[in-house]
Amino acid sequence: MRGHPVYAAMGTTIFEHMSGLSRELGAINLGQGFPDGQGPPALLDAAARALREKSNQYPPMAGLPELRDAVAAFYSRRQRLNLTREQVIVTSGATEALAAAIFALVQPGDDVLIFQPAYDAYAPLIRRAGGVPVPIDLHPPAWRYERAAIIAAITPRTRAMILNDPLNPTGTVASAADLAMLAEICVAHDLVAICDEVWEEVRFDGVPHRSLIDFPGMASRAVKIGSAGKIFGLTGWKLGWMCAAPALASLMARAHQFLTFTSPPPLQWAVAEGLALPDDWFAAQAADWAAGRARLKQGLESAGFVVLPNAATWFLCIDLPRSGLAMDDQICCERAVREAGVAAIPVSAFFDGGVPGPILRLCFTKPADQLDSAVKRLSHFRQAQLSAG
């Protein structure tokens, strides 16, 4: 049987590959990003209650009204955004929201700016829509957005920009000045901004998240994408949303209806309840994640690894050359999972083309004993390489 050549040429993602090796080898999985554990009891109870007491039939294509209202209210409270139900479309995860936004807004031949390192779904989705991904490299350790590089990449064919803030895999956040500059560029060049903001509630710098949609001129040209999986640490629920001006939201809803059409209603009701939890609940959850971040960072640095700056996400990155490991990051990942029993993700997997240097990404939302054991194993691995070199 013949398959589509685009997909026939693809392998599995690096996340599935490393998680598969982790399961096969019994390694500690600090690769694919998810917290261990069942998730917040309040949301689990809400989902179980909804499963028993509410409808389990098709909900509205755009999402349950309760959840769309809850998303708008959440962003009003947490980010001072003025959204209505009509501006919120519920999706089966943020990746589906990205797909719907790209398929609705990118036409064949359009150039789309993506900042590298970039989530590995961006480029394939752009190409599937007939567009052309145009990568703009960011550079460690600050991973700053440079106006000159962005302007140089814009052509008469440039239609859109994808912005991931906070940025995975680096764990960095765009400054207010950078966001203002990006907004100015979008307005000046008539670009649509697809804003992947799934890490908006996973920040440790004390600065509230501000969306690009909130900047002058952006309300009618920006799409804000969020994720219940990241907000609540429930990645397997695959529930997300996209927010935009009514005209854009209506257009994206038409693409969404032919992707997944809708998402499980009990999970939608549960997330609606979760978004109404008090602010101190979210602060406590962030503090719990921050404790894992601090533990892994301290352990890695004590073991001689150089950890790059981080202000958000569930990930820390280590600079391999500065840590004394003179090897490619993909090779290092393969060897670390097999020889040290720790799965990681190579940051080079987030680049299509040039790579700024061998860097490893590690997830810290794991139990303390797992983090400590992983550090001990990685320390032995590093010492063995230094001795061999």
Q: What is the pLDDT of residue 23?
A: 87
d(CA 92, CA 237): 8
- 186-200, 214-228, 275-289, 347-361: which has the minimum mean pLDDT? 347-361
Q: Is residue 354 scored above 70 in pLDDT?
A: no
Q: What is the pLDDT of residue 13?
A: 80
pLDDT digits (tens, 9 = 90+) for 300-311: 999 999 999 999
CATH C-level class of 5-37+280-388: alpha beta
**Pairing mode, if any, of strands 315-319 and 359-363?**
antiparallel
d(CA 344, CA 329): 10
Whole-angstrom CA distances from 387 to 31, 150, 311, 325, 384 are 26, 44, 33, 11, 5
Residue extent(s) of CATH 3.40.640.10 domains in the chain: 41-277
Q: What is the pLDDT of residue 159?
A: 98
Q: What is the pLDDT of residue 1?
A: 45
Locus of tokens 């989902």? 47
Q: What is the pLDDT of residue 5?
A: 54
Q: CATH for 41-277?
A: 3.40.640.10
Structure tokens at 379: 């320390």
Q: What is the pLDDT of residue 11?
A: 62
Question: Any idea how long the chain is?
Answer: 389
pLDDT digits (tens, 9 = 90+) for 109-142: 999 999 999 999 999 999 999 999 999 999 999 9
Residue extent(s) of CATH 3.90.1150.10 domains in the chain: 5-37+280-388
What is the residue-averaged pLDDT of the chain? Answer: 94
Q: What is the pLDDT of residue 388?
A: 83
Q: What is the pLDDT of residue 21?
A: 82
Structure tokens at 134: 């145009």
Q: What is the pLDDT of residue 6?
A: 54
pLDDT digits (tens, 9 = 90+) for 47-87: 999 999 999 999 999 999 999 999 999 999 999 999 999 99
Q: Is residue 20 scored above 90 in pLDDT?
A: no
Range 246-274 average pLDDT: 97
Q: What is the pLDDT of residue 37?
A: 87
